[in-house]
Structure 1
Amino acid sequence: MAPINVAVIGYGLSAKVFHIPLILALPDDFKLYGIVQRSPKPDDDAQKDHPGTKAWRSVEEVYSDPDVDLVVITSIPSTHFQMCSDALNSGKHVLVEKPFVPTAAEADKLCQIQHQSGKLLSVYQNRRWDADFLTLRELVSSDRLGDIAEFETHFDRHRPDAPADSWKVVDEPGHGAIYELGTHLIDQVYHLFGMPQRVTGFVYLQRHGVKSGSHDACTVLLHYDDRRMIATVKAGVVSPEVEQLRFWVKGTKGGFKKFHLDVQEDQLKDGLRPGEEGFGEEPESHHGTLTVIEDGKPSRATHRTAAPATYVKYYRVFAKALRGEGEVPTTPGDARDVLRIIELAIQSSKEGRTLSVV
């Protein structure tokens, strides 16, 4: 079959780092057909960077182009609902960056629009393909850790100074740490264990010099009462550590502890591309440790990180779905459920109480 014609809306970091390199890595499946960039500059021009692609200045031109098969939306969250709706109603498949939309109610509406359109819609939760998460998922599914009692997932950084000008720091729906980084972490927990029974949230400004704007830190407790497990999701900007904790999981048979983030984001920012030597591969110094109980005593050893499937796998799965060979990599229903958890966490933080998931 002919490659799928892809139109990318936006030409910022998300498009340049997390989408276009992956699209170009699968030429048999996808063709970078065109890019919407409203205001190109001499040193930032999508058409110069990608000659031979169409250059649009408005999203309406994408919707009216009959040769566009798939629209990839990398714009700010407040634009996602309208763009997804318009693209679906114009007969295009859609892949939208996280957070899906600012509210679960909007997500519900888009689920309905997607169903009525007959087109596919997926949300870009690429960190389901982090190598360390795949490592942990295998440990959980193979019962190496036994019954999980505590599951911690962190995305902490040490950036205590006031943030630079960015749309991300504006206090608007869909902005802030719980939507930016928390969305990834909550999605990973949801992907492993489903919906929790209760949610306790702490959503706040951690930087002392910042008096307004979107929150920059969050700690969310997901209570899985049916499993007797608590999952802690944490993203902060005051964490002066040489090695940042990523996972700490404790079970009846063993535990897993891991530092450092998956390497793909930094590699993509540095210009390394999928398929090149070393892409997605962690150095041994970043591998986690697995502790197991042997003869009633804990025994600890380095546990090698899984061979990376890489974020390209997201696009491979999506290509199969577009050809009728399975489901999209992240369903809009999954993304809606994550937004429900986020909204409960924010409400919990405001009210100072644990809330039930209904």
Structure 2
Amino acid sequence: MAAKTYNVGVIGYGLSAKVFHIPLIQVTTAFTLHSIVQRTPKPSDDAAKDHPSAIIYHSADALFADTAVDIIAITTTPDTHFAFTKAALEAGKHVIVEKPFVPTSAEASTLIALSKSTGNLICVYQNRRWDSDFLTVRKLINEGALGRVIEFNTHFDRYRPERPTTWKGKLTMAQAGGVVYDLGTHLLDQAYVLFGLPQTVTAVFANQRGDGADEPDSITVILGYGAAGPSVVAKAGVMAVETEQLRYWVRGTVGSYRKLNLDVQEDQLKAGMKPGDRGFGVEKDQAAGVLTVLKEEKPEKSVCRNVEPETYAALYAGFAKAIAGDGEDAVPVKASEARDVLRIIEAAKESAKLGKTIDL
């Protein structure tokens, strides 16, 4: 008997839909791209021309009412995520929603309760859990190659002197806009995956551009895990003038790992590649990290290439299995996990505002 396939409807037709969601839907054998909501098509930007086999709706309500749709992918700005996720669950659909999940942990809790009452699943698109360098870090830590982790430094620095004109630069933090919800969500989610909820959060928000804007453009967040736990530092800056940006610097009791450069999947997706294409997710050898370990009580370094890519397609494939019968425990990025990350973000905002460390 042929395996069941599920119809996916996508809300939004911007960069997120075109680059991060539709290509992954197309390579997930259990999913079919059924429909797209594009409110205002243009001659040079028309979902109907790009995807002639998909039904094109001009309102989200029309998609919610389509009984043929099993799953809704929400790729719109984060200030719309709560209302769209709630409506999708109430319409009997499973949901995959872009990060940041919703603006507040309280809204996340509301949606988690609704998911349980309706029986429809939520998956949050924290794709950078499947960055190959992060999977490499995770493997090194889990195998004990570094010993007990003392310091975990994770960076997402860039040279971007102009403030973005997208939601990332237009929405306020109250609307889940800005750097702490954009890049900070990725950095803090990866730390959460490795070490769980921290005991304390200390944050400094800054305006490195010096453009007088009210909203910060750069963050430093320190997560505390007790006296014996790691000190986690997550940084995102916009005025980093470097030929190669630092990504990870992890130090443990018997070794350290240092990695420059960003995972290649985003650039490859923007260039039209998809998971399964030759070379997808594979970075150049010269971009490999450096592993330093003690040999006869002396530090010795070696090239540490990334593990074989699982790729962002693993997130969609995992959600397909969860929907097909494996259930909530199999959801790759659970809404409850995204809520925990929102709690860290909320503590960071409070810390930066008050100038003090916040206990979780």
Residue aligning to 1:350: 353
Residue aligning to 1:317: 318
Please tell me whether the aligned partners of residues 170 and 214 of structure 1 are also in contact (alpha carbons under 8 angstroms): no
Q: Closer, same or farther in 2 for the Cα pair 1:55/1:322, shift >3 Å?
A: same
Please tell me whether the aligned partners of residues 171 and 214 of structure 1 are also in contact (alpha carbons under 8 angstroms): no
Residue aligning to 2:6: 4
Residue aligning to 2:18: 16
Whole-angstrom CA distance in 2 between matches of 1:226 and 1:116: 40
Deviation at 1:163, TM superposition (A): 2.0
Whole-angstrom CA distance in 2 between matches of 1:299 and 1:242: 26
Deviation at 1:251, TM superposition (A): 0.1
Whole-angstrom CA distance in 2 between matches of 1:68 and 1:4: 8
Q: Deviations over 1:187-246 (max 9, x none)?
A: 0010011000000011222112x2225321111000011633110001110100111000
Deviation at 1:181, TM superposition (A): 0.5
Residue aligning to 1:60: 61
Out of 337, 340, 349, the position equivalent to 1:334 is 337
Q: Deviations over 1:263-310 (max 9, x none)?
A: 000011111222111111010011100000111110000011111000
Deviation at 1:143, TM superposition (A): 0.7
Instruction: Give the SS at the match of 1:158.
Output: coil
Instruction: Please list, as runs of the form range in 1=range in 2, the aligned pairs for 1:273-292 lying within 5 A after superposition.
Output: 273-292=274-293
1:104 aligns with 2:101: no
Instruction: Please list, as runs of the form range in 1=range in 2, the aligned pairs for 1:115-130 lying within 5 A after superposition.
Output: 115-130=116-131
State the AA in 2 paired with 1:78: D
Residue aligning to 2:170: 170
Segment of structure 1 superposing worse, 237-246 or 322-331 = 322-331
Count, aligned residues: 354
Residue aligning to 2:185: 183
Please tell me whether the aligned partners of residues 168 and 214 of structure 1 are also in contact (alpha carbons under 8 angstroms): no
Whole-angstrom CA distance in 2 between matches of 1:279 and 1:171: 33
Whole-angstrom CA distance in 2 between matches of 1:324 and 1:207: 49
Instruction: Give the SS at the match of 2:180.
Output: helix
Q: Which runs of 5+ in 2 are unaligned?
A: none
Out of 191, 197, 200, the position equivalent to 1:198 is 200
The alignment's C-alpha RMSD in Å is 1.0
Deviation at 1:167, TM superposition (A): 2.2
Residue aligning to 1:235: 236
State the AA in 1 paired with 2:342: L
| Percent identical | 51
Instruction: Give the SS at the match of 1:324.
Output: helix
Q: Deviations over 1:317-337 (max 9, x none)?
A: 111001112511100000000
Residue aligning to 1:247: 248
1:71 aligns with 2:41: no
1:144 aligns with 2:130: no
State the AA in 2 paired with 1:207: R
Instruction: Give the SS at the match of 2:325.
Output: coil
Deviation at 1:170, TM superposition (A): 1.8
Instruction: Give the SS at the match of 2:160.
Output: coil
Please tell me whether the aligned partners of residues 170 and 213 of structure 1 are also in contact (alpha carbons under 8 angstroms): no
Please tell me whether the aligned partners of residues 23 and 32 of structure 1 are also in contact (alpha carbons under 8 angstroms): yes
Please tell me whether the aligned partners of residues 247 and 256 of structure 1 are also in contact (alpha carbons under 8 angstroms): yes
Segment of structure 1 superposing worse, 226-235 or 285-294 = 226-235
Q: Deviations over 1:52-82 (max 9, x none)?
A: 1000000001111100000000011111101
Q: Deviations over 1:150-171 (max 9, x none)?
A: 00011000112x3242222124
State the AA in 2 paired with 1:20: I
Whole-angstrom CA distance in 2 between matches of 1:67 and 1:96: 19
Deviation at 1:253, TM superposition (A): 1.1
Residue aligning to 1:88: 89
TM-score by length of 2: 0.97
Whole-angstrom CA distance in 2 between matches of 1:80 and 1:164: 20
Instruction: Give the SS at the match of 1:11.
Output: coil
Deviation at 1:186, TM superposition (A): 0.4
Q: Which runs of 4+ in 1 moved over 3 A?
A: none
Whole-angstrom CA distance in 1 between matches of 2:104 and 2:338: 10
